[in-house]
Amino acid sequence: MKIALVGIGKIAVDQHVPAIAASDDWELAATVSRHGSVEGVEAFDDFDAMLAARSDIRVVSLCLPPVPRFEYAAKAIRAGRHVMLEKPPGATLAECHMLERMAHAHGVSIYATWHSREADKVSAAKKWLSDKTLNSLHVTWKEDVRRWHPGQEWVWEPGGMGVFDPGINALSIVTEILPDDVHLKSAYLDIPSNKQTPIGAALEFVHPTGAAVTADFDWRQTGDQIWMIEAVTEQGTLTLTDGGARILIDGIEDAVQSENPLHGEYPNLYAKMARLVTNGGVDMDLRPMVHVSDALALGRRTAVEPFYE
């Protein structure tokens, strides 16, 4: 199937373009970007012009920042195109619900992707936890914003989510691997005095059986980057590290390779999008975004030192 990639920035170049190129399901037929392009692929700088000129392109993958994404997705759906949304799927929950309703009304597929759910050991963690009694779960997600979002000022503006841009990756894993849903109890947010969104966050959740579920997010990490989830159960302790790429049970690493032949988060996402389009499916799981929205609503804000690149 022919697909158009909209927003040719770092994530598109690093992840989306290679995943599409390696897939037997997709042909990258066009790009839309004010500044970027992909060699050998027809490039547009206007989305409406692409939709008008390329009626043969059935699917649009949106890699734009979350704030402008709704307008592009709505235009694509009205034009009868299937839509794939980079995470987070939008700037607000209301617009995500609207897009899902529009997709159903126009008979097209829409997919809110969560790439961290496709990390190699996430499915194994979900299976292991499925019959365990949870005592506690703690997320430690600490990285250097200068390394991963250099010069991307939109992350500090309303709708950019700040540290929840990576933190939502952790929440997407937690909502996938826990057998029971949790909801937010409290949040503490560190806001740089010259920014609009948090650079650090501490979250506490309510679990239906009383297990302690907490998370610490920080964008000021130097040195080693930490993407870890530890779940303590009455039957043992599970630890996911490296963003879900490695799993340890009671400190012993499971080195068994995944049976999934795709070997990669974004190849898995594009394979699922192909299935959704083929079968007429919709996947708009918004649970990770609900937690972020709740944190921004309930969070106690503390002003911290200004942040500069």
Note whether 269 and 19 are within 8 A (CB): yes
3-state SS string over 58-94?
CEEEECCCHHHHHHHHHHHHHCCCEEEECCCCCCCHH
d(CA 124, CA 293): 28
The whole-number pLDDT of residue 55 equals 97
Q: What is the pLDDT of residues 209-267, one digit of tens each?
A: 999 999 999 999 999 999 999 999 999 999 999 999 999 999 999 765 555 444 689 99
* Long-range pairs, 24-29, Cβ under 8 A, ≥24: 25/1, 25/270, 25/271, 25/274, 26/1, 26/2, 26/59, 26/270, 26/274, 27/1, 27/2, 27/3, 28/3, 28/4, 29/2, 29/3, 29/4, 29/54, 29/56, 29/57
Mean local confidence (pLDDT), 160-169? 97
Q: Is 211 left (phi over 0), alpha (psi -120 to 50) or beta?
A: beta
Q: Give the residue from 203, 161, 176 showing the smallest Cα distance to 116.
A: 176
Residue spans of the domains in the chain: they are 2-112, 116-254+292-304
Number of CB atoms found within 10 A of residue 246's CB? 16
What confidence tier does 194 reach under pLDDT thresholds 50, 70, 90? very high
Contacts (Cβ under 8 Å, ≥6 apart) of 173 = 116, 117, 119, 122, 125, 229, 240, 244
Q: Which residues pair with 204 in a beta bridge?
A: 186, 214
- Strand 236-241 and strand 246-249: the pairing is antiparallel
Note the CATH number of domain 116-254+292-304: 3.30.360.10
The whole-number pLDDT of residue 50 equals 98
Torsions phi, psi for 260 (to 5 deg): -70, 120
Among the options 87, 121, 126, 142, which is catalytic?
A: 87
The whole-number pLDDT of residue 257 equals 53
87 has catalytic annotation? yes
The whole-number pLDDT of residue 254 equals 78
Query: In CATH, what is the architecture of 2-112?
Result: 3-Layer(aba) Sandwich (3.40)
| CA dihedral over 266, 109, 178, 292, signed as positive or negative | positive
Q: Give the predicted TM-score (pTM) of the model.
A: 0.95
